[in-house]
Amino acid sequence: MTETIDELEIKAESAREREEQIAALNKLAEALMEREPERTRTLAERALNLLAQSESELFQKGQTAFALAMLGMVELKFANATKAIQHLTSAKALATEIGNKPLTMRILGALGNANLNIGNYTDALRIHHERLALAESINDEIGIATSLHNMGNAYFKLSELDKALDAYQKSLTLKEKLGNVHEIAMTLTNIGNVYFMIEDFEKARSIYEESLALKKKSNAPSASIAHTLLNIGNIFYKQGNFGKALYHFEEAKDVLQESPDLLTRAQILGNMASALAGLGRVKESLQKQLECLELREKINHVQGVILSHNVIGLCYSELGEPEKAESHLLKGLELAEAQKATQEKADLLKALAGLYKSQKLFEKATDCYERYQEVERERFSEAQAKKLREMQAMYETEQARREAEREKERSIELEKALSEAESQRKRAVEANQIKTQLLSIAAHDLKSPLQSIVVFSNIIKETPQSDILDIYRYADHIDEAAKRMLALINELLKSNEFDIGEMTLNFKPTRVDKILESVVYENQFIAKKKSQMLFIEHAEEITLMLDESRIREVIENLISNAVKYSPREKTIRLSAKKLPIKSSRYRRAANFAEDVSEVVRIAVKDEGQGLSETDMTKLFGRFQRLSARPTGEETSTGLGLFIVKKIIDLHGGAVWAESEGKGKGATFFVELPIRTHLNAP
């Protein structure tokens, strides 16, 4: 028989036995989770304090796991995902230790959602997979359905919409079988989200409205109904129908009027402000944003507070109140820097640059814009690294699953067929991933210099002709941005040549020492900008068969990297010398043609940041970002060394690097065969 809240209140205060009181406190905390989450936190903390005095180890572990789970779920409700993960991880360890599978499943669900909230999408997917396996092991159909639903959420965040839709559909089928109307409505809402993402707005709205009707029929929590109304409003907002969007946002606000869910109320106010701005009602929009900020500060939703300061600053700027605009934007920037919120920091710096430009404060505008570009470069590098980690984790998970499937296959012929099909799929997936990354890098790295060109061109237009030095400085910015664009496009085109097999070589007798002299001379300017010394230490007069323009690209790339990753006032040395084949790095016949008895070894040695053991494993890979970072705000696509390796391979040569470790510099070596006849390899 289920105890009422009143009965639990009495038992929690008057129970004679400590264990009875602890159990009552935990049950009451669970019962009040939706209605009074702050009390849930207080009750769970009381239970934990009492548990420190418990004599039964099994009881202590079980109730401690439950109380920690309650605390984790409360923190999740208040958008404190990091704290939630700490509590839930401890709770999971205890629940697993005592073999409480239902509690472990519940904790895993919350833990997966907490990881989802902070962007750990791959971890979230792994956790929900673990929960699904546990639910299947005890034949818990409700657990299976909710796990599939949550896996759909993770796939959705990973932009794998086909897998998300598949997981949602499987979850929906189970939920319809079980007859839980509210749960059916929840999954329908998320299916609607998939159609919203692919901009099939009519289909999305139809599904949302079906979900809304089911939620109202099942007396779903007000926050759940409000979220669906928000989704419908967002469709109208995307379609530019701000009036209808506002109507649905206001309806969501009315539904949530008595709810303690301040986080959702703040979200609604923010959406209402956006719709009002779309209608040109800027002052009303500002008022809603100020109310939204007040709520977010009340619940300490820091990310939301940062966003509110940004939007409020933009509103004040539009209303012609630059002092108030600057105040809010700077407050938001301070919070973003403290939280290491790079996306928000970039948005705020860009907004400040625009504000200062409108006030003709060009020096401040330039400073903010340059800081914005720096953050964007850092953010892109982090995003690429994270994406690569996610792809690796997904690849390893998929590999493990397929390996298990292959072990179950009895037919050798079938296994061979599956293996071939898998290889073809991998090649297709890899090609698609490479194409996606090429487009992603091009879109981002071209966007930044293009924005620089636009901004500094406009500043030049507004700079008095008498300030000729400033005009020259801004023109230099434009020149550098254009050169970055050209370099990026060239690297992408070269990478694509290798992919489609269009790289051809034009072999002819060429002096290697002359190539080195020419490339060093051309790169003296960029080295001098960083007060670096660049010179040829020793170069023998050596003629061999090679493609001069391609080998020039190799040397240019290695020198460019040495300059880019070396601090100011360091030295970069080049050398070229003949070696007998037996003294070269690779002595196997397969590396060089049979007629080769000598090689030329080219070395580029720097005093830069050096290479770690991890770096050594990643050298010459496509899109690989190493631990070293440019010392003068230069950019990198992660394609340069990949192109170097491909060109040297086509020459039948070898390329490698040596370093004593981080901070001890690096030397890149290239060996090319010295042929006795004029036939290309």
CATH of the domain at 656: 3.30.565.10
Say which amino acid occupies 450. Answer: L
Same structural domain, 495 and 512: no
User: Is 416 a member of any domain?
Assistant: yes
Contact call for residues 657 and 616 (beta carbons, < 8 A): yes
Query: Between the CA of residue 552 and those of 511, 557, 579, 645, 674, what are the distances in Å?
Result: 11, 8, 21, 13, 17
Whole-number Å distance between alpha carbons of 465 and 117 = 52
pLDDT at residue 593 is higher than 70 = no
Q: For the ranges 16-25, 422-431, 565-574, 635-644, which has the lowest average pLDDT?
A: 422-431
Share of the chain above pLDDT 90, in %: 30
Average pLDDT over residues 65-77: 90
Average pLDDT over residues 27-46: 87
User: Given pLDDT bands bounded at 50, 70 and 90, which one contains residue 143?
Assistant: very high
pLDDT at residue 382 is higher than 70 = no
Helices 282-298 and 302-318 pack at an angle, to 10 degrees, of 160
User: Given pLDDT bands bounded at 50, 70 and 90, which one contains residue 199?
Assistant: confident
Q: Which of 177-186, 388-397, 456-465 has the largest mean confidence?
A: 177-186
Query: Which residues, in sequence order, are bridge partners of residue 575?
Result: 538, 603
Q: What is the largest CA-CA distance in the chain?
A: 100
User: Given pLDDT bands bounded at 50, 70 and 90, which one contains residue 82?
Assistant: confident
Please tell me what DSSP assigns to residue 651.
T
pLDDT value of residue 602: 94
- CATH number of the domain where residue 496 is located: 1.10.287
Contact call for residues 251 and 229 (beta carbons, < 8 A): yes
Residue 632 in tokens: 């003068």
User: Given pLDDT bands bounded at 50, 70 and 90, which one contains residue 462?
Assistant: low
Share of the chain above pLDDT 70, in %: 78
pLDDT at residue 10 is higher than 90 = no
Last residue of a domain, one of 90, 118, 146: 118
Query: Which residues, in sequence order, are bridge partners of residue 672?
Result: 600
Same structural domain, 516 and 619: yes
pLDDT value of residue 150: 93
Neighbours of 435 (CB within 10 A): 12
pLDDT at residue 40 is higher than 50 = yes
Same structural domain, 73 and 8: yes
Residue 521 in tokens: 């001379």
User: Is 8 a member of any domain?
Assistant: yes
pLDDT value of residue 362: 86
User: Is 134 a member of any domain?
Assistant: no
Last residue of a domain, one of 101, 118, 135: 118
Q: For residue 44, what are the domain limits?
A: 1-118
Residues 528, 532, 537, 540: is their CA dihedral positive or negative?
Answer: negative
Average pLDDT over residues 99-110: 92
Same structural domain, 494 and 513: no
Whole-number Å distance between alpha carbons of 448 and 454 = 10
* 384 or 23, which is more confident: 23
Three-state SS for 667? Answer: strand
CA angle 529, 618, 593 (to 5 degrees): 95
Cβ neighbors of 400 (< 8 A, separation 6 or more) are: none
- CATH number of the domain where residue 63 is located: 1.25.40.10
Whole-number Å distance between alpha carbons of 6 and 438 = 62
Closest CA to 114 of 76, 70, 78: 76
Same structural domain, 542 and 471: no
User: Is 478 a member of any domain?
Assistant: yes
Query: Between the CA of residue 227 and those of 208, 212, 253, what are the distances in Å?
Result: 10, 9, 10
pLDDT at residue 229 is higher than 50 = yes
User: Is 583 a member of any domain?
Assistant: yes
Average pLDDT over residues 83-88: 91
pLDDT value of residue 438: 47
Same structural domain, 473 and 388: no
Same structural domain, 489 and 512: no
Same structural domain, 583 and 640: yes
Whole-number Å distance between alpha carbons of 322 and 365 = 14
pLDDT at residue 186 is higher than 50 = yes
Same structural domain, 582 and 442: no
Average pLDDT over residues 384-404: 53
Query: Which residues, in sequence order, are bridge partners of residue 511?
Result: 543
Same structural domain, 457 and 362: no
Average pLDDT over residues 148-161: 89
User: Is 526 a member of any domain?
Assistant: yes
User: Given pLDDT bands bounded at 50, 70 and 90, which one contains residue 597?
Assistant: confident
Closest CA to 36 of 66, 68, 78: 78
pLDDT at residue 434 is higher than 60 = no
Last residue of a domain, one of 95, 118, 141: 118
Whole-number Å distance between alpha carbons of 655 and 507 = 19
Task: List the alpha helices (DSSP H) in 158-221.
Answer: 161-178, 181-197, 201-217
Same structural domain, 362 and 480: no
pLDDT at residue 281 is higher than 80 = yes
Neighbours of 13 (CB within 10 A): 11
Query: Between the CA of residue 607 and those of 515, 524, 567, 629, 660, what are the distances in Å?
Result: 23, 17, 8, 14, 11
**Mean of per-residue pLDDT scores for the chain:** 81
User: Is 137 a member of any domain?
Assistant: no
Task: List the alpha helices (DSSP H) in 256-361.
Answer: 262-278, 282-298, 302-318, 322-339, 342-358
User: Is 591 a member of any domain?
Assistant: yes
Neighbours of 643 (CB within 10 A): 23
User: Which strand ranges, in their side-by-side order, compose the sheet holding 533-539?
Assistant: 533-539, 571-580, 598-605, 667-674, 654-658
In the chain, how many domains are there? 4
pLDDT value of residue 680: 45
Same structural domain, 518 and 467: no
Neighbours of 436 (CB within 10 A): 12
